[in-house]
Structure 1
Amino acid sequence: MTDTHANGRLAGRLAVITGASRGIGAAVAERFAQEGAHLVLIARTQGGLEEMDDRVQAAGAPPATLVPLDLTDFDALDRLGASLYERHGKLDILVGNAGTLGQLGPLSHVPPDVWQACMDVNVTANYRLIRSLEPLLRQSDAGRAIFVTSGAARSAFPFFGPYAASKAALERVVQIWAQEMRKTPIRANLLDPGVVRTRMRAFAFPEEDPEQHPEPMAVAETFVKLADPACQRHGEIVHAL
């Protein structure tokens, strides 16, 4: 690791990032690597993770730990906590970035399995991560947790029912957990990235010109600030743009 990385704001910190193979998760992984963090990258595809690891190492960081995992495999999330404890004994940063849009359309037309899948990925998986990884974050001198939310959680935006409802639920889950962690070294926040050029945005709004929106790297610095041991923000919804 270069001197720049050794002196980075996240030097020596262990960070778990979900949805790390593309979009915002990939940009955050690259910035964390530049700031000296050791990364545990989670995504569904091994190939996507390997491509991301190449980017991490190109940034001058050591190889990441790659975890190909479907977040709806809740037993695997439990094993993740045990595995990280065995290897590292602690966790410094958790970034709950992975999410799914679900089906767009009238709420009454959404199939129950689509609704459940959206809740599983956007809410339950993050609850299971909290449950699995809180003991490791407590072992850090400055545990930091960041969960990606959306403005849809705070507006009655038509045709985005499963996504909006799941993000609203995520916000309340994280805010409750933050209150429970007030007297610990853990600081937990939600980050609303705003409108960013991602695959999910392109799917939701195919008529848009994606070039009009900033790239995911534009919001990565806000993640670094919230992951910094010096950050004392807690229980907030932070807007990146």
Structure 2
Amino acid sequence: MTRQVGGRGVRRRPTERSGRPIIEPHVIIDAALDILSTKGLKALTMAETARYLGVSSRAIYHHFPSREALLESTARHAQSKLPMPENTGDWRADLRRYRDDTFAWLDAYPSVLDIGLLEGVYVVSERMLQAQEIGLSIMGSIGYSPERAYLVYSEYVKWIAGTHMYLLRTPTGGDTQDLFDRVVVESHSAVSSSSNNYPLTAAAGTLSTNDAVEAGFDWLLDSLEHAAAARAHNAPPIIS
């Protein structure tokens, strides 16, 4: 990067100070994201980030006065890449597309939600608010008032985050086979030899993760539609 100095030529930004490399904040954040992806949240410390970059911890503290500040900046950067929903008038397709885009974002930034869930470091960025505003407009097109739209949109987002975390995310540094898949397989295996005692479980068989995700999402969309219609006609809703 270059800049004019006193109108007499160009000065380059130094890459070293006192023989030590100068690390830019965005390089530190990229390193933090890599550590999150490969080692998980607990491994993301100031010392580990410094080791990753081959610098002293002082170089990290120069830009981020605490681990909390580093976590906040890391989460904010990840949020800058949040997908944006679209309100095309086909709310089912819009919510499904946004679900898939958000799954892809969570795949690209594994463990970033843990910053808020486990560390209590929450970031509300402008991009997140913009996405929420469009999401609320989609809920409004189903028939919800702004207040009710906010509640149901929040539940929709929680479903996406929870489903990804517990069904789709590969644990960092852990077994690639999902825990819940193993439970389903083991439970089906356990009842197969005594199907007379558990006829419904035996008849249900196993369900793939993708099938479970799609079935759960269809159930969520049907519930949103039914609840909106029920409120419009003063009928008892499935969800309020």
TM-score when scaled to structure 2?
0.29
Q: Which has the higher contact order (CA 8 A, sep 6+)?
A: 1
Relative to the length of structure 1, the TM-score reads 0.29
Give the structure with the larger helix fraction: 2
Higher Rg: 2
